[in-house]
Each structure stands twice: as structure tokens, then as C-alpha cells.
Amino acid sequence: MSEKIAWVDGTAITGNVTAGSDVSGADDSKSFTIPDGLYSGSKTATAHDTYLAADNIKDDVVIFGVTGTYEGESGSTAPVAKTGQATCYDAVANSIDCSNSGTWPGQDAYWAGQGVGVAWPDIRFTDNSDGTVTDNLAGLICLKNADNAGVTKTWADALTYCNRTYAGYSDWRLPNVKELHRLVDFAYYNPALSNDAGTGQWTLDVGLWTSDISQSTTPGVNFQ
């Protein structure tokens, strides 16, 4: 090692091998290799993760020495989900000004305009150009064509059909009813679905099975 003296065959030799320093892993890596060599001092190996930050961790929860500060949107521990409604109405369904709702205050559309609730993305759906779309609100990837099979299927057939590889993905499954409800945009009805930009209504002329079993009726919920 550099500056260290050793005797070799009766001769004093001063080393010139520089000691290795602390090792930092690549961002988001769980493991990494410490290179061969001579080390002195703490010999510390450090892993990195950009997302290991206080504002990404629940308030007062400590993960790897980082104490969380996240309390949710507007101080809530459970941010309210927006419904998509942007218009206020009176008791007989006439549209009114949300900013001056008079005797009809507190409507969902009013609070959404005040920034309450989880913000909807500017573009609701992204076409992945492979027959699938990504829901930028729910984070789900769905088939672009809901009637991809081109034929009506029973619930049992639908479960089997979804268990396949498509567009490079092998983890397809029939969604549950709560996942499909996340697609609902209550600014519309029949169906309550927005288009890809979130600026209008999407058309749907087929029913969609879910993976749920309803004990009061037949297996599977037909969601439309």
C-alpha cells in the first residue's frame, strides 16, 4: 500500500499501491460488486435510490435511516380521487357556475376546481402503438380494442382468453370490478368513459366481463 514500508529480501521497499475508496452503487441497484484491491478506513459500500427520499415515505416512518414526511395531498393521508366532473348543477340538472353556486355549494366539480383530489393527467390514455393503451391515471395497461377476440365470450371463456401473451406481455388478466371502476369518468354516462385526451366521451358498444364472482347472480360482473 502507498507509503507503507515492507522488507523484501533484506531491502526496504516503499509501496505505491493507492488504497481503494468507498464504493457507491448505481442508482436503484440492490447489489453491486466491490472491486478487488486494498482498502483502508471505513470500507463503506453505499447503495443509491433516487426515490428513497423523505417526501416519498409515509410521515414518521423510517426506511434505511430516512424519516418520512409524506402526509398525502393537502395534509390528508388518503388523497381524494377525482371523479371527472367539471360542471356544477342545480336541483333540476341545469348547469350553473361552479365558482358562484349560490344555494348549491360544495359540489364535487367545485372542489375539483379548487385543486382538491388527485390530479387527472393532461392526456388520460396513451396509445402504445402495439394494440395496447396505458391509463395514465390508474397506471393500468389495457387492450386498445375491448372486443379484441372479435366474438362474444362467456365469463369462463373470457378468463381463459386473458391468460395469454400479447404485445410482448405475459401477465394479462381479466380486471376486477374496482379496477374497471377506475376507468369511469362521471362527466359522461352510457358509457361513463372519456376519450384518450380526456376531452370527450369514448364509445363502447360491448359489455366487459370482470374477474369477480357475484354471489347474488351468476359468476362475473358485466361492466358497461
Please give the pLDDT value at position 218: 60
The answer on pLDDT for 43 being more than 80 is no
Tell me the torsion sign for CA atoms 144, 149, 154, 156: negative
The alpha carbons of the chain give a radius of gyration, in whole angstroms, of 29
Q: Dump pLDDT digits (tens) for 95-131.
A: 888 876 566 667 888 887 777 776 667 777 888 999 8
Query: Tens of pLDDT along 46-96?
Result: 777 888 888 888 878 888 888 888 775 544 445 566 787 888 888 888 888
> Does residue 172 carry a pLDDT above 80?
yes
Amino acid, res. 210: T
Q: How many CB atoms lie within 10 A of CB 129?
A: 9
Q: Is 10 left (phi over 0), alpha (psi -120 to 50) or beta?
A: left
Most confident of 9-13, 45-49, 50-54, 153-157: 9-13
Supply the pLDDT for residue 219: 61
pLDDT at 222: 57
Cβ pair 8, 15 in contact under 8 A:
no
Please, what sign has the CA dihedral across residues 47, 52, 54, 57? negative
pLDDT of 10 above 80: yes
